Amino acid sequence: MSAAEIPVSEWKRKDLLGLEELSAEEIILILETADSFREVLERPIKKVPALRGKTIANLFFEPSTRTQVSFDLAAKRLNADTASVAARSSSLLKGETLLDTALNIEAMKVDAVVVRHGSAGVPHLLAKNLSASVINAGDGCHEHPTQALLDIFTMRQRFGSLAGLRVAILGDIAHSRVARSNIWGLTKLGARVTVVGPPTLIPPGIEEMGVDLSYDVDEVLARVDVVNVLRIQRERQEGNLLPSLREYRMLYGLTLERMARVPENLVVMHPGPVNRGVELDPAVADGPWSVILDQVTNGVAVRMAVLFLLMGEQTREGMRVSGEVL
Ligand code: CP
């Protein structure tokens, strides 16, 4: 069955925890739903009443700019109410457990919780214990499903289809929840994925996820349509996995010199935040190859789609985003 044949009303999931658990049809349904919301974002009044009366809490226990603001805007543009909890100002500092914090938030009649945490599995723990929907906004090195969905949405916007698209994921694969979610999503949709980076930053057995592996960035860049460049995650690295950032830039960074040798139409993506001058030279991040800010814009539409599918009226009527505007 193609995604177009799945009625929105058949979306049965309470939570979005990762792309590993989604079928290709479910991923396409999210992308197609996001198409409609992407159009809403171009209107003078960027708001529809799809989640009127619902309340969404953002629980971010790790720093975030893009994901937190994007979820907040997505909720507001669907007319939901929002509340935010940050670890540094919460009662976690007084000894309250994470689960107690979440249960207390839910007791305030919250319908969905968006959670980011440094430990893998926290969203799954909350999903088991809450009646509210739980959305993973990044858990440790495990998954960042909405980032991968917005990355895939941006590739689909550019190329039409993911089938046969050649995508490289470059950099710190070992510590990257973005890489893991991208690999699950892209391979399910038929893209051909190559991971490339220093041997110390690529986990053993990665090929079992259905990807090719290379340590030669120039060879890979010569034969792909898209390169998704990952941030060097200094905060998650234990030990000396890199000799120096200067050497990393020379061997794996997208420098202007390296970009002079790649195919003209190569698309450069990055989930952000960018370490300018390390994995991406500023002239590349801001250059004609880059779709980084398109990714950010698309992220709002993708998160609107996820919130809507998890919590909305879940009917095509509810999808009539051209309807009443509050
Ligand atoms: N891509 C991403 O997750 O960015 P933030 O850490 O700013 O949310």
Averaged pLDDT for residues 14-20: 97
Mean pLDDT over 184-189 rounds to: 98
Please work out whether the CB of residue 118 comes within 6 Å of at least one atom of ligand 1: no
pLDDT band at 233 (very low <50, low <70, confident <90, very high): confident
Confidence class for position 145, pLDDT limits 50, 70, 90:
very high
- Per-residue confidence band for 237, with pLDDT thresholds at 50, 70 and 90: low
Residue 117: is its pLDDT beyond 50? Answer: yes
CA of 320 from ligand 1 middle (Å) equals 30
**Residue 47 pLDDT greater than 90, yes or no:** yes
Mean pLDDT on 115-139: 98
Predicted confidence at residue 257, as pLDDT, reads: 96
Percent of the chain with pLDDT over 90: 85
Q: Is the CB of 272 under 6 A from ligand 1?
A: yes
Residue 65 CB less than 6 A away from ligand 1: yes
Mean pLDDT of the chain: 92
pLDDT at 11: 81
Min mean pLDDT across 84-93, 96-105, 248-257 is at 84-93
Cα 293 to ligand 1 centroid, rounded to whole Å: 13
Distance from the alpha carbon of residue 178 to the mean position of ligand 1, in angstroms: 10
64 lines ligand 1 (CB under 6 A): yes
How many DSSP H helices and E strands does the chain contain? Answer: 11, 9
What's the pLDDT at 89? 84
Per-residue CA distances from 74 to 2, 77, 130, 141, 297 (Å): 27, 5, 22, 25, 11
- CB of 296 sitting under 6 A from ligand 1: no
> Which atom belonging to ligand 1 lies closest to the Cα atom of 138?
3
For the Cβ of 147 lying below 6 angstroms from any atom of ligand 1, the answer is yes
The lowest-confidence range among 147-151, 220-224, 238-242 is: 238-242
Which pLDDT does position 5 carry in this prediction? 45
Ligand 1 midpoint to CA 67 (Å): 5
Closest-CA residue, ligand 1 atom 4, reads 66
Tokens describing residue 240: 């000396």
Higher pLDDT, 90 or 318: 90
In the predicted structure, residue 34 carries a pLDDT above the cut 80? yes
Q: Is 273 in the pocket of ligand 1 (CB under 6 A)?
A: yes
Ligand 1 center–CA 138 separation, angstroms:
9
Task: State the virtual CA torsion across 93, 74, 188, 227 in degrees, nearest 10.
Answer: -90
| 9, pLDDT greater than 80 | no
Atom of ligand 1 nearest to the CA of 144: 3
Q: Span 255-267, mean pLDDT?
A: 96
Q: What distance in angstroms lies between residue 60's CA and the mean position of ligand 1's atoms?
A: 11
pLDDT at 2: 42
For position 4, what pLDDT does the model report? 45
The pLDDT > 70 percentage for the chain reads 91
Residue/partner pairs of 196-200 with CB below 8 Å, 24 or more apart: 196/168, 196/169, 196/170, 196/220, 196/252, 197/170, 197/171, 197/172, 197/173, 197/230, 197/252, 198/241, 198/242, 198/248, 198/251, 198/252, 200/174, 200/241, 200/242
- Confidence band for 184, pLDDT divided at 50, 70 and 90: very high
Which of ligand 1's atoms lies nearest the C-alpha of 68? 8
